[in-house]
Amino acid sequence: MKFATYVHGGDVSCGVVDDGRVHPLNESMQSLLSGGLPRALDIGAAARERPSIELTAVTLSAPLQPSTMRDFVAFEEHVEGVRRSVDGVQGVAEAWYEAPRFYFTNPYTVSGHGAVIAPPAACRALDFELEVAAVIGKSGSNVEMDEASSHIFGYTILNDWSARDLQRREMQVGLGPAKGKDFANTLGPWIVTADEIHTRRDADGFLQITCTVDVNGRRIGQDSLANMGWTFDALVAYASRDSWVHPGDVLGSGTVGNGGCLAELWGRHGQQSPPPLQDGDVVTMTVEGIGTLINTVGRSRATAEIPAARVIDHAGVRQEHVGV
């Protein structure tokens, strides 16, 4: 079942998407998630019996406003290529193999299908990142692997937009990405419930699902979720270790390999080919069993200048640095 958030007649609503139509629901996406998947399926089934709206007559929004967003790096091929591009280092760090690493990204800059994405004003190397995200529908702490799948409500497509030049510079401080990442995340076009997606699992729990990304109609990357280093169950279990997952949390798979982002290809080619995204470029991501997420790159917004740090040497003399 597909659950979407949409705008129609100026009102934001939640509904079930079925056969090119939207069947409205009388509750929000967050209440649907909090009630759990079995209840949501019952509500959705009942809604299908009521009047509906043509999908073309509504504007899709991000399917949910996440409570938190953990973004993993679960594809070895992606890690290898991007590490070479961003850090100039060959291979994959040994620590990557030990556990599914993640960082927290920004839930306040989430957009949906059709949104125009404004890159940071200082960005000259804008990149997309093709991911699939699990949406949590049941709370849990220290979740066991054999129970993890029951905490997943469904799945959606995630584009983790990246300003690679900003990211490269700020990560020299020894922390994770900041302004190179948190200006935009796109989710959509809807959430497909776990009962549908999990029919595509293999014997080891990996999803046999193909993901593709095109820029201006040109195929840039294609990979399968079967190439993840860990299953989504493992991501749920690890995210909840010594912590919690709650309904509305989003767990990104990390960027797929084989051209799931430009930076991976830059690392392999030794140059920025294909070129960074520009104003007007259209990025189209398609994931089997979920759908297609389309966004257009827009123009940057003007931002206030931030001064460089005040640094004083031992003689009390101010050192000059350039701000951003």
**pLDDT in the model for residue 320:** 65
pLDDT over 90 (residue 172): no
Task: Tell me the pLDDT band of 318, cut-offs 50, 70 and 90.
Answer: low
Q: Report yes or no on whether pTM surpasses 0.75.
A: yes
Distance CA 92, CA 187 (A): 28
User: Percent of the chain having pLDDT more than 90?
Assistant: 86
How far apart are the C-alpha atoms of 103 and 160, rounded to whole Å? 12
Across the chain, mean pLDDT equals 94
What is the pLDDT, as a whole number, of residue 264?
94
What are 212-267's pLDDT values in tens digits?
999 999 999 999 999 999 999 999 999 999 999 999 999 999 999 999 999 999 98
Q: What is the pLDDT of residue 140?
A: 98
With a cut of 80, say whether residue 17 has pLDDT above it: yes
What number is the average pLDDT over the span 283-305?
97
Kindly indicate the confidence band of residue 317, based on its pLDDT and cuts at 50, 70 and 90: low
Compute the average pLDDT of residues 208-215: 98
The whole-number average pLDDT for the span 261-278 is 94
Q: Residue 171's pLDDT is what?
A: 87
pLDDT confidence bin for 8, thresholds 50/70/90: very high
pLDDT of residue 73: 96
Average pLDDT over every residue of 204-216? 98
Whether 316 shows a pLDDT value over 80: the answer reads: no
Is residue 49 scored above 90 in pLDDT?
A: yes
Q: List the domains of the chain with CATH numbers.
A: 2-60 (no CATH), 69-297 (3.90.850.10)
> Is the pLDDT assigned to residue 315 strictly greater than 70?
no
Distance CA 144, CA 33 (A): 21
* Adjacent-strand bridge partners of 103: 71
pLDDT in tens, 84-130: 777 777 789 899 999 999 999 999 999 999 999 999 999 999 999 99
First to last CA, the chain: 46
pLDDT at 274: 97
Distances (CA, A) of 37 to 31, 135, 181, 182, 189: 11, 11, 31, 30, 19
Angle 199-205-209 (CA atoms, 0-180°, nearest 5)? 55
Residues for the chain: how many in total? 324
